[in-house]
């Protein structure tokens, strides 16, 4: 009974925080599907990533807040205008359509899904890859770290193969086991590597974002 009571308390506290979260309220007001949009907005503002005319790949896109933000940034005339550029979104979960965004449903870890993504690119080089991918966590630290590392390494492999020489990769990762090794892999791949924990990330969250710019061996 104690476990259930504790669980209820935790859920109630989370729900209370969520309802009163200023980013949640702002997302509802501004039409974003999730507060995560403001994480990408802050990263974009700091690093000047997203511009009309670009090709952008959004990995781990559902429910679509990052793709919504990208859609707005690639629309010079404002909301409802013509998309200037290309957005390809991918997630293992379904996602409600967003006008102008090509959505592929599938597991990025599966070779045939990666092949579909490459076919959709049709030879175009990518300006920016953004990844909010995260595995379902088991609570077993070593197993979870391995799953997170695997996803980020796949995103790195994709970036090496498809980014323009001056392109950018943004990934979500977590402080803990494997973090230093992933940062080292970024430094081996990119000329500029910067970590950032956006203000929109909850204080108690271990998540941070790693930004890599300019391929070293392009």
Segment (H or E) for 168: strand 163-174
What does each C-alpha distance from 173 to 2, 13, 23 come to in angstroms? 33, 25, 21
DSSP state of 1: -
> Residues near 113 by Cβ (< 8 Å), separated by ≥ 6?
90, 104, 106, 107
Burial label for 131, CB within 10 Å (0-12, 13-18, 19+), is buried
CB atoms within 10 A of CB 67: 28
Residue positions annotated with a catalytic role: 172
Q: What torsion do the CA atoms of 169, 175, 180, 181 make, to the nearest 10 degrees?
A: -70
Q: End-to-end distance of the chain based on CA atoms, in angstroms?
A: 59
- As a whole number of angstroms, the distance between CA 218 and CA 212 comes to 14
């Amino acid at each position: 009974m104690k476990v259930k009571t504790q669980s209820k308390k935790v859920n109630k506290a989370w729900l209370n925080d969520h309802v009163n979260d200023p980013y949640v309220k702002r997302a509802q007001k501004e039409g974003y599907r999730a507060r995560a949009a403001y994480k990408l907005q802050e990263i974009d503002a700091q690093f000047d990533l997203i511009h009309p005319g670009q090709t952008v790949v959004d990995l781990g896109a559902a429910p679509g807040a990052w793709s919504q933000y990208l859609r707005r940034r690639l629309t010079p005339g404002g909301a409802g205008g013509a998309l200037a550029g290309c957005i390809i979104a991918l997630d293992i979960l379904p996602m409600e359509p967003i006008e102008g965004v090509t959505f592929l449903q599938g597991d990025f870890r599966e070779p045939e899904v990666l092949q579909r993504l490459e076919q959709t690119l049709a030879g175009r080089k990518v300006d920016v890859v953004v990844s909010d991918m995260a595995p379902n966590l088991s609570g077993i630290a070593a197993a979870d770290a391995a799953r997170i590392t695997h996803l980020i390494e796949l995103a790195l492999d994709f970036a090496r193969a498809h980014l323009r020489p001056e392109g950018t990769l943004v990934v979500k990762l977590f402080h803990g086991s494997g973090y230093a090794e992933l940062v080292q892999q970024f430094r081996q791949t990119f000329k500029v590597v910067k970590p950032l924990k956006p203000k929109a990330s909850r204080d108690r969250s271990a998540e941070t974002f790693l930004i890599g710019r300019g391929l070293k061996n392009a």
